[in-house]
Amino acid sequence: MLWVAGRVRTPASANPVAPHGYALFIEITEKTMEKQLITRLHKNFEDCAHEKDGIEFWTAREIQVLLGYSDWKNFEKIVSKAKTACENGGQVVADHFADVGKMVNIGSNGEREIADLMLTRYACYLIAQNGDPRKDEIAFAMTYFAIQTRKQELVEERLAQWERLQAREKLTISEKTLSGLLFERGVDSEGFARIRSKGDSALFGGYSTREMKEKLGVPDKRPLADFLPGVTIKAKDLANEITSHNVKKDTSLRGESPITDEHVRNNRNVRDVLTKSGIQPESLPPEADIKKLDRKLKSEDKKLPQSVKKLKG
């Protein structure tokens, strides 16, 4: 990420993209969780792990803090949703959520009991699933509790895979949004395909979409983006977002030719940001087929409740 006086430095030739344009440029790298943050969160979650009679568990009060919830009543609503998800998944709720009391100091040498729960790894995973994944703590927790190991390097690997999947889904949405917007401006589906291809050529230093597919060994009938690394997927998404924003803002942008120029310029500017950070999009190796990755992670998620040791009644 390139910063100057607290802002992202965009190329001198960059087209102004409205007040939130700088924030859009940040998105290329912002969504990738930094190693330092992963290390801190990993330590926090590890410090709160407990074990009794060979059963691994966490407490709800500690998970509340780890996930960034300040109010217990609000957190209880998330726990309630997680219990429903547990039951809907064919599991016995009491096997993963156990009511326990916790004594807290109330001053003047007094104590009182407050509600708490013992939670299995699966229960914690469901709680994270029902939170806001835009929060770093929750995005991390979804990965941390999804795998049957607490090794940081494996958590990092799965987190990167999850972030790539999220980026691909976001790209699909931005492409559909842009396609619909351009249709309103007189561009049909074939015209949109040409605009997208020329945008790719600008992003990949002159390589067309077909040439990039050949270069990376992508099957003919599969989208190029399904085999791109996360940073390139985010770059394509960012260019789409900027083009959509500018087309909405400028009602004179109508028809294939002027919108092509706009989209090519935005892709070229995004490329400039990447290359100034030492990233050549066309030189990055392909990554695993996104569809196979999606199936792999979903399969692991389904196996989680069976592999977790249940709480004893």
pLDDT digits (tens, 9 = 90+) for 128-143: 999 988 889 999 999 9
Instruction: Specify whether the CB–CB gap between 163 and 93 falls below 8 A.
Output: no
Tracing tokens 């087929």 back to the chain, one arrives at: 289
Question: What is the full DSSP assignment across 203-245?
Answer: HTTT--HHHHHHHHT--TTS-GGGGS-HHHHHHHHHHHHHHHH
Cα 168 from Cα 234, distance rounded (Å): 8
Question: What is the full DSSP assignment across 5-67?
Answer: TTEEPPPTTPPP--TTHHHHHHHHHHTSPPHHHHHHHHHHHHHT-EEETTEEEEEHHHHHHHT
Residues 49-84 have pLDDT tens digits of 999 888 899 999 999 999 999 999 999 999 999 999
**Mean pLDDT calculated for residue range 247-270:** 96
Tell whether the torsion through CA atoms of 43, 44, 47 and 48 is positive or negative.
Answer: negative
Whether the predicted pLDDT of 21 surpasses 50? no
Q: Which of 25-34, 37-46, 258-267 has the lowest mean pLDDT?
A: 25-34
Whether the predicted pLDDT of 15 surpasses 70? no
Of 79, 81, 90, nearest in space to 117 by CA: 79
Angle of helix 35-47 relative to helix 152-184, nearest 10 degrees? 120
> In this structure, how many other beta carbons lie within 10 angstroms of the beta carbon of residue 8?
19
Of 151, 163, 178, 297, nearest in space to 236 by CA: 178
> In this structure, how many other beta carbons lie within 10 angstroms of the beta carbon of residue 125?
26
Model pTM?
0.76
Alpha helices in 51-120 (DSSP H): 60-66, 72-88
Return left, alpha or beta for 79; rule: phi > 0 is left, psi -120 to 50 is alpha, else beta.
alpha
Cα 146 from Cα 165, distance rounded (Å): 15
Domain boundaries, the chain: 3-30+159-297, 35-145
